[in-house]
Structure 1
Amino acid sequence: MTKLPALLLVVSAPLAVLAAGCGSDPPPPANTAGDVAPPPPPAPTAAPAPKQDTAKPTSGSIRIDDKILKACGDLPTARFAFDSTSIEGEAATALDALARCFVSGPLKGKGLKLIGHADPRGETEYNLALGQKRAGSVAEYLGTKGLEQGRIATSSKGEFEASGTDEEGWARDRKVDILLAE
């Protein structure tokens, strides 16, 4: 039995010293309703990039397949602004000419495949949805010009084929490819 009290003394002595050292700091004063600190502000998030003018070379584009251009003739270039699905200005002009070609021109009765793309800035799911919205926006616009929705297939590749590393490169990533359905 004499060994047990000695063992307890050997084990408990360092614990007592440790507890005494930790207990030397005075306890913090109790908070009252008047001196409770407000919660810290939320962590900063990246500010959304400003909308870009579609006339600038940093806007995305609507790319029309060479087979379509060969059949329909030269069509104007069309562009998308950053984080945009709007079809305005030169994009509307290009799509008007494209719709005429598919409604009453050389490609009457043919179908289209629209593939939306996004630049890599953003979450994968968001970019896939944005690419789909861009393709859907083009399909809807073409529908208002008489092209039946049953002749238009839409899909999105989001950021998966994006290769840009700066504003000009990202602008090239923001596009809708228009292909002849075969």
Structure 2
Amino acid sequence: MTPVAKTPPASQTASVSPNVNVDSELASRCKLTFGNVEAAPKFDYDDNELLPSDRDILQQVANCLVKGPLQGRSLQLVGRADPRGTDEYNLGLGSRRAESVRSYLQRLGVPAARLSPTTRGDLDASGKDETTYRRDRRVDLKLVN
């Protein structure tokens, strides 16, 4: 897995579970259902474990990609970290987070060839304190084709 060299094009994303954001087309086409996840905790510091609510959303995404309206489409999985730690460490942590999502989606039947995990580490992080650091600890799912 290699880091993304530059910031991906801006797209609207929605937080759909504590640790997963999806682009607006994916949320709309898959009719994802989710609650108020802004108030939910994100990945813990230095952690890449998915929560039950993350797995629920990823189940909906997998169903949509395997036998739903986005059958055959691919996803880019962008792991992110808060700004604490070295750049190298945070790139690795973002990578582990993206791999957690990739591995779970594969177990749900999404072919590996349609999942592209990558990392931005803390390159786009905006947190300044513990409350805002939490928003940086996530994986963004973006439709590729």
Distance 1:102-1:146 versus aligned 2 partners, 3 A rule: same
Q: Which ranges of structure 1 fall in alignment gaps of 5 or more residues?
A: 1-58
SS at structure 1 position matched to 2:113: helix
CA contact under 8 A between 2:19 and 2:50: conserved in structure 1? no
RMSD: 1.7
Q: What is the deviation of 1:60?
A: 5.6
Q: What is the deviation of 1:148?
A: 0.3
Name which one, 1 or 2, has greater alpha-carbon Rg.
1
Percent of matched pairs sharing the same residue: 39
Q: Which ranges of structure 2 fall in alignment gaps of 5 or more residues?
A: 1-16
**What corresponds to 2:76 in structure 1?**
113
Residue correspondence of structure 1 range 1-182 to structure 2 within 5 A: 61-76=19-34, 77=37, 79-182=42-145
CA contact under 8 A between 2:32 and 2:57: conserved in structure 1? no
- How far apart, CA to CA, are the structure 1 residues paired with 2:124 and 2:25? 22
Q: What is the deviation of 1:74?
A: 2.5
Q: What is the deviation of 1:84?
A: 1.2
CA contact under 8 A between 1:60 and 1:82: conserved in structure 2? no
- How far apart, CA to CA, are the structure 2 residues paired with 1:174 and 1:134? 9
- How far apart, CA to CA, are the structure 1 residues paired with 2:53 and 2:18? 12
Q: Which runs of 4+ in 1 moved over 4 A?
A: none
SS at structure 1 position matched to 2:126: coil
CA contact under 8 A between 1:60 and 1:171: conserved in structure 2? no
- The one-letter code sitting in structure 2 at the alignment partner of 1:146 is G
- How far apart, CA to CA, are the structure 2 residues paired with 1:147 and 1:165? 36
Distance 1:113-1:75 versus aligned 2 partners, 3 A rule: farther
TM-score, normalised to structure 1's length?
0.65
SS at structure 2 position matched to 1:171: helix
- How far apart, CA to CA, are the structure 2 residues paired with 1:60 and 1:157? 18
Structure with greater proportional helix content: 1
Equivalent pairs, count: 124
The CA deviation string for residues 70-110 of structure 1, in whole angstroms up to 9 with x for no partner, is: 10012335842221111121111111111111111111111
